[in-house]
Structure 1
Amino acid sequence: MQNMQKVDIPLHDIKPLVDIQEYSIYYFSAIVVVLSILLVAFLYLAYRWIKHRNRFNIRKEHNKLLQEVDLNDAKKAAYDLTFYGATFKDDSLRHLKTYEDLIEKLESYKYKKNVESFDSETLRIIELYRGMIDV
């Protein structure tokens, strides 16, 4: 036992442990939050882009159909002009007045078995209403 060293020898070279402030967990958390926000924003914008890319526009479709109405078949044209023209009648008071005049002129071409072709006044009102529509 004499050859054994004493255990309580003071160590002068080694210093005690020091608490070090570690901020890396906060930096990591901040980066994760920012990246999450950016990812959510990107997904939201992609969703909106996909949703609105092929959105059906009833006004555009009715305008196209209204411009393509065959005026040679007066009875079918009268019904089509009434149906498709109703989409645009509430745009302004001028549209409403012109639409009402158009309906008044088209009444004589509806509800009959055989009808004659459009007269020049009716054609003028039809072209006026077609021309004032903007989508």
Structure 2
Amino acid sequence: MRIHYDGLALPVSTKLVHQLQNLLNQNQIKSESVTLNFRDPTYSAKRGGFHPVEIRLEQHDNMWHFCYITDFAYIGSGPYAELTKELDFDFQSGVFQNLFGVFPIEQATDMYQIWEGNFLYYYLELEAFTVSISE
């Protein structure tokens, strides 16, 4: 089954789609929705590291569709640090959210391209993430 990415409000790359498609095929997903979690096992508020990322896909008309891509980060310091959404690209609602507010998703094009390039580098080149998939 393919992932739909043509005509989205943000320029999701073929490279990202192929990586996600490979993960779906390797895990033989049977449900109509899936959440992919990319985690740096050493990431913490104290030591930093690579931000956790969550990608949600749902099936419609024999095709996977992006629901959202969320990048999390610790906000605050010391014992008060909380894991919070830092960047949220919500394809279903058509909004982009960051620490400064909520905006139409189309305003996040430049931010998304930078984020995606970094994410793919961390995932493919640095092998920074462990991946878990929940259906």
TM-score by length of structure 1 reads: 0.29
Flag the structure with higher strand content.
Answer: 2
Which structure features the higher share of helix residues? 1
Larger Rg: 1
| Greater RCO structure (CA 8 Å; 6+ sep) | 2
